[in-house]
Structure 1
């Protein structure tokens, strides 16, 4: 082999080695990218699980199996839940079925509120209204509030809890009329009147009145709890804290 041939062969081997090294580096970079993506996905999955577990993983009100105080529809469209003869103290709950904070409050305090009413310790007045003004939240809220206004008092609490259990994610359309009618049926609402009321938006005017009432009462955010006209806040927004606040108001 001539000197020139040996030089070309050495250059060729060097080029081939460099090509193999570049290929190995590309594979290593690809492996790092893939492993990073897998790790990120794992972190997301863990975060989702933690968030769900932090929320209790149960439907609002679904863990309460005790007695319910009788519910009655009041002249202004609100729903009162109280034992016969109990008028004070009065706990008013202003809520929007599309409001995530309201769903969270129902998760935390719904059972306590029901227990206190069933024990004759408090009169609870539910005042759902439409807080949101942007779409699709506004229409979601309006349809749910209309359906709640259509629901008979005897099935209202179960339907109320189901609405929070089925709350759409923010930014997504939901609370469709067909679903609302089906959830009502599952809550024990029978007959065609409810479906007609939901589909026709027959209680939209009542929802508007409830919204105006909330504004007049100074409610600017949901959820808002009023105990004998005074807003419940801070440490009273826990099961033990709310129980003590109701007991103090009843003395």
Structure 2
């Protein structure tokens, strides 16, 4: 074989080796990219799962804490002897944001009381000045005042949020309020008349004005733990809410 042929053959061999090497490098890079991508997808999936798990509403515990209806229309929920931390829930039965809070963190609040880790006070107030939301709110809250049994009151509280009307329509009809009370076990003979006569409507309006002024609320829902407002990014995330209450009790 001539010198020129040998050189040509060597060049071809080297070119083939380089081509093979490039293919190996490409395969290695593809494997690395695929592996990194899989790890990234897994990390994203894990992060999404973790975020979702913190956002998920807790399941209610079986044994609810004792509940006491107070003369001012509030309700105290807590085990005997538990004095704090004090979790105050300011809410309006007509308020969509309050319903969202109840849907996400309502069971956490009740669970903390049932576990003996908090004393909870519910403040049903009316914040809306415009109609029909103002009258809707007053009808609902004054109906709740007709219930003297704490367990029934809390069940009615949940029922009102489940059936919350839109903000632009007349809702919480008196007959519906009576029917919902009966659905959750209210058996007091004076309940229907108390609701339909709106016996506590003025008391509800007066109490709301007093609370808004004295407690310096800027809106509903407001959750206070030992007198300090929780930010929405904590209140609406069950896991963060639980952490904040437990921290306040240490």
* Pairwise TM-score range, normalised by the shorter structure: 0.7 to 0.9
Question: CA–CA distance in 2 between the matches of 1:138 and 1:209?
Answer: 13
Q: What residue is the counterpart of 1:19 in the other structure?
A: none
Q: What residue is the counterpart of 2:238 in the other structure?
A: 239
Q: After the TM superposition, which parts of structure 1 deviate over 6 Å for at least 4 consecutive aligned residues?
A: none
Distance 1:62 1:185, change over 3 A: farther
1:188-247 CA distances to partner (integer Å, 9 max, x unpaired)?
Answer: 101321111111111123312331223310112110111111001144221111111111
Q: What residue is the counterpart of 1:189 in the other structure?
A: 186
SS of alignment partner, residue 85 of structure 1: coil
| TM-score between both structures, scaled by the size of structure 2 | 0.73
Question: CA–CA distance in 2 between the matches of 1:94 and 1:214?
Answer: 10
The answer to whether the 8 A contact 2:85-2:248 is kept is yes
Number of corresponding residues: 191
Question: CA–CA distance in 1 between the matches of 2:62 and 2:96?
Answer: 25
The answer to whether the 8 A contact 2:73-2:124 is kept is no
Question: CA–CA distance in 2 between the matches of 1:64 and 1:194?
Answer: 27
Q: What residue is the counterpart of 1:58 in the other structure?
A: none
Q: What residue is the counterpart of 2:128 in the other structure?
A: 132
| TM-score between both structures, scaled by the size of structure 1 | 0.72
Question: CA–CA distance in 2 between the matches of 1:206 and 1:115?
Answer: 30
Q: CA deviation at 1:63?
A: 5.8
Q: CA deviation at 1:65?
A: 5.7
Compute the RMSD of aligned alpha carbons: 1.7
Q: Runs of 5+ in structure 2 lacking a partner?
A: 1-56
The answer to whether the 8 A contact 2:58-2:105 is kept is no
Q: What residue is the counterpart of 1:3 in the other structure?
A: none
Q: What residue is the counterpart of 1:203 in the other structure?
A: 200
Q: Name the larger-Rg structure.
A: 2
Question: CA–CA distance in 1 between the matches of 2:232 and 2:194?
Answer: 39
Question: CA–CA distance in 2 between the matches of 1:65 and 1:83?
Answer: 14
